[in-house]
Structure 1
Amino acid sequence: MVSYMDYTSPNTNFSFDMNKSRLFTKDRNNYINVLGTAQLNTLENLSLLDIFLSPNNVVEPHIHQNAAELVYCISGSAIVSMLNPFTKQIQNYRITPGKVANVPQGWWHYEVAEAANTHLLAIFDAPTPEFVLGSDLLRLTPAQIMAHTYCLDENQWKNTVAPIKESTIIGPPINCSQREPVQQPAHNSHTQMHQQPYHQQYYPQYYRGFY
């Protein structure tokens, strides 16, 4: 029971239409609806993201600093990938209808849709799904700090991240000129990549000149 909730109040809500609570829209096939205590004040320690994706669209790399995430596949197919901070390896899990992948709190992760009409439900053990986006880290960290810290060419770094003008959430952006399909890792239930970092194997265009 929530100690701060007056269940006799006329402002107490027990149902909500998530179709009226859009978090992000890329296009008609790629969008996310949100449900938290701001939308439904009786939720207690729970929140949801209702995610719709078309093939090769990516819920960008991010962390949830306040919650673990359980990703449930309603339709379609997606790869849920996460960086295990203890093994320093990327773990990849294909989920199809009825299957789930669990992302512990604070783990760097992302989802890539493999099929048309992919529909995912992300469930969080927190009243609001807070997040830190990879696009914000890249575009808002000063270029001189990135260059100095990782021994990079500062101008090359600036040119690389210059197209990231705002938070991405679902990528690639509509105006992206690089339309190469995402290559998914060969795996059974999950794969840990040993030969080369996952991003360098499957997104080499973003790393040319840096490694």
Structure 2
Amino acid sequence: MLDNVLQSPSLSLVADSTKVLNYKLNSQNYITQMFAAQLPSIKTGFFNVHMSRGFIIQPHWHTNVNELVFIISGEASVAIFNPFTRKLMTYRLTQGQNIVLPKGWFHWIVALKDQTHMLTIFDKPTPDIVYGSDFLRFTPADIMHLAYCINPDEYNRAVAPIQASHVLGPPKWCGNQPGTYQPHQQQYYAEQMQPPTGYYNY
């Protein structure tokens, strides 16, 4: 089947992934993007993510895409909840390493070094994103009480500061001091990564 985009007289195969701002917390923590709106000939899409030590891409999941995270520079802790084993898998990734985040798997990313730069690449040009912040603020306190026996008043107090979807954190109103984050004491699977048999060193 012929691709109408590729046959267009106005076809462009080049774009700048730094021009369209998706989200900005401050001058060191921001996300730009490259999707079909910026480059119609692209069949995938990605976020160009810059983070400082102790900052987080908030817990979230994608309903329609698989994601590949590639670390360009710096270091990051990537945590994923495996819905089949019901275990949290945590990986520590450094420059040149990558990880696949399957569709529908809950995950988050914390920068462990300043000037961490990564690409989060999707297998479709329009990823859906469900933010943990939205899940928390839109779930009624009586439902959390019914489901988990959480005190409704305490739940309302706990989630009251979450007034918007959060992409990067901690939020500006939070008392946490970025840069002081220490990864929780879990096994880091990626620390044992070795080139596979048949690896070619270019």
Q: Same fold (TM over 0.5)?
A: yes
Give 1:167-182 correspondences, 5 Å limit: 167-179=165-177, 181-182=180-181
Equivalent position amino acid for 1:111 in 2 = I
1:190 deviates by 4.4
Write the distance in 1 (CA, Å) between the matches of 2:5 and 2:18. 25
Residue matched to 1:115 = 113
Q: Residue in 2 aligned with 1:66?
A: 64
Work out whether residues 6 and 41 of structure 2, in 8 Å CA contact, stay in contact via their aligned partners in 1: no
Q: Secondary structure at the match of 2:9?
A: coil
Q: Quick one: distance in 2 between partners of 1:189 and 1:154?
A: 38
In 2, the alpha carbon distance for the partners of 1:47 and 1:13 equals 15
> For each residue in 1:84-106, what CA deviation from the matched residue of structure 2 results, as whole angstroms up to 9, or x when unmatched?
00111110111111101111111
What residue in structure 2 maps to residue 189 of structure 1? 189
1:5 aligns with 5
Q: Which runs of 5+ in 2 are unaligned?
A: 192-202
- Consecutive unaligned residues in structure 1, runs of 5 or more: 192-211
Q: Distance in 1 between matches of 2:2 and 2:113?
A: 40
The answer on whether the counterparts of 1:76 and 1:114 sit within 8 Å (CA) in structure 2 is: yes
Distance in structure 1 (CA, Å) of the matches to 2:146 and 2:99 = 37
Quickly say closer, same or farther: Cα 1:112–1:7, change in 2 above 3 A.
same
Whole-angstrom distance in 1 between the partners of 2:110 and 2:188: 16
Q: Is the 8 A contact 2:62 2:104 kept in 1?
A: yes
Over 6 Å off, 4+ runs: none
- Over 3 Å counting, the alpha-carbon distance change for 1:5 and 1:96 in structure 2 is same
8 Å CA contact retained: 1:72, 1:101: yes
Alignment TM-score, normalising by the size of structure 2: 0.87
Q: Which amino acid aligns with 2:21?
A: R
Aligned positions, number: 189
Give the match for residue 198 of structure 2: none
**DSSP-derived class of the 2:135 partner:** helix
Verify the 8 A CA contact 2:49 2:120 in the aligned structure 1: yes
TM-score by length of 1: 0.84
Q: Does 1:75 align with 2:73?
A: yes
Letter in 1 for 2:3: S
The residue that corresponds to 1:52 in the other structure is: 50
Deviation string 1:143-201 (CA, Å, 9 cap, x unpaired) is 2222222111111000000010111111110121133732213434349xxxxxxxxxx
Same amino acid, percent of matched pairs: 36
- Give the aligned CA root-mean-square deviation in angstroms: 1.7
- Secondary structure (helix, strand or coil) at the match of 1:147 reads helix
Distance in structure 1 (CA, Å) of the matches to 2:136 and 2:102: 23
Q: Hey, what does 2:36 align to over in structure 1?
A: 37
2:24 alignment counterpart:
25
Matching residue within 159, 163, 183 for 2:157? 159
Amino acid in the other structure paired with 1:98: G
Of the candidates 90, 100, 103, which is equivalent to residue 102 of structure 1? 100
